[in-house]
């Protein structure tokens, strides 16, 4: 369908989109590194939140800063930056998540890659009152920092409007993917991928409108939908950048009916409450949303969430993926797998290297896995 073309274009070439945005729109672009940076705050300041993704290039300049045992997202983003790929960014906000991003932030600041640079040193534990207070105070600090960059005051109304916009976007994405879970394949794997990825990059006003169009087109197609009858899979784990693994899963003959990824389902799972102090409401959403391995809710929260997801989506199996050298995900995998094993849910682990292997290796592994379930 044609409404999808815009998403495909952005997803295929994020840097070209960023560059064009910079040249044609009034909103300065603010880069951010993961879903722990509140897009609402960036939007409320009249900025455009642009998620950093690596260009598909060989690592060369970044080798002078980061060893080969650093994940490809961090190395790739730095490579892209040092090559001038993010010239359109006004600044970047680094959230505190993993050790690799912690050091990337330092390197970025020292290299002066973007005129503006901020660290959002969030708490690591999310399960008590002092952490909640600290979380909100850190957001307040970021707000003040952005205000001084912009020379403006961000008031609660600005924040509420941004919250409403982001809630709308998240809700529509959630609806679209719930529709796809009910009618697998109603949206192709390639398009699911394009939607997920471009929703982190596109102008959010534009995005909200286009997503609504996608949603109503899908609704209208539901009447003639016929199930392909593939195995129902959930993808879990993460990559701070999303390689096109959706397509490979579809080619192997399975239906992706849900995910526990920070770039997807986990990001749009919870709305921000509209009826209270905006920064408090944003904080509360973060504390509530399904867990990220770099943060602590409880020692079993991620396992419980995954099981619940599998049941809710009536999934036949789970594919775990993460980038090689990603500590938070690699540490959680054995226990998550154990949780599934004990519930009799089959799973497959795919650790991804820099580039997806080109020779159909992944597809073969997924096919072999599908035969066992």
Partner 1 sequence: METKEIPKVRAVKKMKELMTTYYIEAKTARDSGRKVAWITSGGPVEPLIAMDIIPVYPENHGAMIGASKMGVDLCQKAEAMGYSPDLCSYARSDIACAPLDGGPIGGLPKPDMLICCNNICGTVLKWYEVQARFFHVPLFILDTPCCHTTFSPEAKKYVLAQFDEYIRFLEDATGRRFDYDRIKEVGKLSLQAQRLWQAVLDMAINRPAPLSAFDAFFHLALIVTLRGTQTAVDYYQTLLGEIQQRVAQGIGAVGRETYRLLWDNLPIWYRTKWLSEKFSSLDACLVADTYTSAWCGSLKYINEENFLDSLAEGYCRIYLNIGIDQMAQEVIGMIDKYEVDGLVMHSNRSCKPYSFGQYDIQRIITKERGIPSLIIEADMVDERSFSEAQVETRIEAFMEMLAEKKSTHVSEQHLES
Give the binding site for ligand SF4 (CB under 6 A).
71, 73-74, 97-98, 100-101, 239-240, 294, 323, 326-329
Assigned token pair, 220 = 């209208």
Instruction: Report the chain's terminal Cα–Cα distance, integer Å.
Output: 33
In the complex with partner 1, which residue's Cβ is closer, 79 or 255? 79
Residue 44 interacts with which of ligand SF4, partner 1, none, CB < 5 to 8 Å by class: none
In the complex with ligand SF4, which residue's Cβ is closer, 236 or 326? 326
Residue 103 interacts with which of ligand SF4, partner 1, none, CB < 5 to 8 Å by class: partner 1
* CB-neighbour burial class of residue 247 (10 A; exposed 0-12, middle 13-18, buried 19+): middle
In the complex with partner 1, which residue's Cβ is closer, 130 or 226? 130
Residue 292 interacts with which of ligand SF4, partner 1, none, CB < 5 to 8 Å by class: none
| Angle in degrees, CA 303, 304, 307, rounded to 5 | 85
In the complex with ligand SF4, which residue's Cβ is closer, 281 or 323? 323
In the complex with partner 1, which residue's Cβ is closer, 71 or 252? 71
> Which secondary-structure segment (H or E) carries 103?
helix 99-111
For the bound state, the minimum distance from the C-beta of residue 247 to ligand SF4, rounded and expressed in Å, comes to 20
In the complex with ligand SF4, which residue's Cβ is closer, 100 or 267? 100
For the bound state, the minimum distance from the C-beta of residue 121 to partner 1, rounded and expressed in Å, comes to 4
Please name which of 109, 93, 3, 9 lies closest in space to residue 52, comparing C-alpha atoms.
Answer: 93
| Angle in degrees, CA 234, 235, 241, rounded to 5 | 155
Please name which of 122, 160, 168 lies closest in space to residue 286, comparing C-alpha atoms.
Answer: 122
Q: Using CA atoms, how far apart are residues 208 and 218, in angstroms rounded to an integer?
A: 15
Please name which of 305, 268, 247, 39 lies closest in space to residue 161, comparing C-alpha atoms.
Answer: 39
For the bound state, the minimum distance from the C-beta of residue 141 to ligand SF4, rounded and expressed in Å, comes to 23
Q: Are 197 and 241 in contact (CB under 8 A)?
A: no
Please name which of 15, 31, 35, 13 lies closest in space to residue 23, comparing C-alpha atoms.
Answer: 15
For the bound state, the minimum distance from the C-beta of residue 257 to partner 1, rounded and expressed in Å, comes to 25
Residue 246 interacts with which of partner 1, ligand SF4, none, CB < 5 to 8 Å by class: none
Q: Are 284 and 273 in contact (CB under 8 A)?
A: yes
For the chain, what is the radius of gyration of the CA atoms? 20
For the bound state, the minimum distance from the C-beta of residue 341 to partner 1, rounded and expressed in Å, comes to 10
User: Where do we find the tokens 């986990």?
Assistant: 266
For the bound state, the minimum distance from the C-beta of residue 110 to ligand SF4, rounded and expressed in Å, comes to 19
For the bound state, the minimum distance from the C-beta of residue 349 to partner 1, rounded and expressed in Å, comes to 8
In the complex with partner 1, which residue's Cβ is closer, 184 or 346? 346
Residue 141 interacts with which of partner 1, ligand SF4, none, CB < 5 to 8 Å by class: partner 1
For the bound state, the minimum distance from the C-beta of residue 177 to partner 1, rounded and expressed in Å, comes to 29
In the complex with partner 1, which residue's Cβ is closer, 98 or 263? 98
Residue 291 interacts with which of ligand SF4, partner 1, none, CB < 5 to 8 Å by class: none
Residues that bind partner 1 (CB under 8 A): 64-67, 69-70, 96-100, 102-107, 109-110, 119, 121, 123-125, 128, 130-131, 133-134, 137-138, 141, 293-294, 296, 299-300, 324-325, 327-328, 330-335, 337, 349, 351
Task: Annotate 108-164 with three-state secondary structure.
Answer: HHHHCCCCEEEEECCCCECCCHHHHHHHHHHHHHHHHHHHHHHCCCCCHHHHHHHHH
């Amino acid at each position: 369908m044609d409404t999808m073309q815009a998403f495909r274009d952005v997803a295929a070439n994020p840097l070209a989109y960023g560059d064009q945005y910079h040249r044609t729109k009034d909103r300065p672009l603010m880069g951010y590194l993961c879903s722990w940076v509140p897009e609402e705050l960036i939007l409320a300041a009249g900025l455009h939140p642009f998620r950093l993704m690596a260009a598909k290039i060989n690592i060369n300049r970044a080798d002078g800063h980061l060893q080969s045992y650093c994940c490809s997202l961090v190395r790739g983003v730095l490579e892209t930056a040092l090559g001038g790929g993010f010239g359109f960014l006004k600044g970047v906000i680094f959230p505190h998540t993993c050790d690799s991003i912690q050091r990337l932030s330092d390197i970025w600041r020292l290299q002066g890659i973007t005129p503006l640079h901020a660290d959002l040193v969030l708490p690591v534990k999310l399960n008590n009152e002092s952490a909640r207070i600290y979380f909100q105070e850190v957001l307040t600090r970021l707000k003040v920092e952005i205000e001084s960059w912009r020379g403006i005051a961000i008031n609660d109304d600005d924040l509420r409007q941004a919250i409403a916009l982001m809630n709308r976007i998240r809700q529509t994405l959630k609806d679209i993917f719930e529709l796809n879970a009910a009618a697998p394949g109603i949206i192709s794997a390639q398009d699911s991928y394009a939607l997920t990825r471009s929703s982190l990059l596109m102008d959010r006003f534009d995005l909200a409108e286009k997503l609504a169009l996608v949603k109503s087109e899908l609704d209208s197609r539901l009447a003639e939908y016929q199930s392909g009858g593939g195995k129902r899979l959930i993808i879990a784990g993460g990559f701070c950048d999303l390689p096109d693994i959706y397509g490979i899963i579809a080619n192997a003959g399975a239906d992706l009916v849900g995910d526990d990824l920070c770039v997807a389902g986990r990001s749009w799972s919870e709305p921000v409450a509209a009826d209270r102090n905006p920064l408090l409401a944003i904080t509360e959403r973060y504390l509530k949303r399904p867990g990220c391995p770099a943060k602590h809710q409880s020692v079993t929260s991620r396992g419980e969430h995954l099981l619940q997801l599998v049941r809710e989506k009536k999934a036949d199996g789970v594919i775990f993926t993460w980038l090689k050298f990603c500590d938070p995900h690699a540490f959680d995998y054995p226990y998550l797998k154990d949780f599934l094993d004990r519930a009799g849910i089959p799973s497959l682990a795919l650790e991804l290297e820099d580039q997806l292997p080109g020779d159909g290796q992944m597809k073969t592994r997924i096919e072999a896995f599908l035969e066992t379930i």
